[in-house]
Amino acid sequence: MRQLCLLLTLLLVASGCSTIRSTIGIDPGETFVLGGKQEGAFRAQLMNVGEVAVEIAQRTASGDTLVLATLAPGQSVDQPFPAGSAALLINRSGRAASIQGVISGDTNLGMRYTPAE
């Protein structure tokens, strides 16, 4: 039964049209990168559930970076991201950050951590 549930979850994520709910931890001086080069648009509903501010930016398909918001603890944003763009969740502080996210639309997205830009 557990294997069947895991398989169904993987199929939903692989289909690229589900909803992802996750709490994202971001180490000090790190950026969580969500998406980039995907075919469709996605929407990110993000809430800062940590103790430090997190900058939300967009890397466009052409490579430009646009700062969209800085979320103080307890603040949230509902942000669309066009096809080919990436959401950047940047923790410039010296302490770990935590963001709750609900991602919808094209969820066939790459995810990775990079040093804060």
11 pLDDT above the threshold of 50 = no
pLDDT in tens, 25-61: 999 999 999 999 999 999 999 999 999 999 999 999 9
Task: Calculate the CA 69 to chain-centre distance.
Answer: 14
Q: Determine the Cα–Cα distance for residues 59 and 93; give it in Å rounded to an integer.
A: 21
What's the confidence (pLDDT) of residue 117? 76
108 pLDDT above the threshold of 70 = yes
Angle, alpha carbons 8-79-71 (nearest 5°): 110
Domain ranges of the chain: 2-115
Evaluate whether the domain defined by 2-115 bears CATH number 3.40.390.10. no
76 pLDDT above the threshold of 70 = yes
> 17 pLDDT band (50/70/90 cuts)?
low
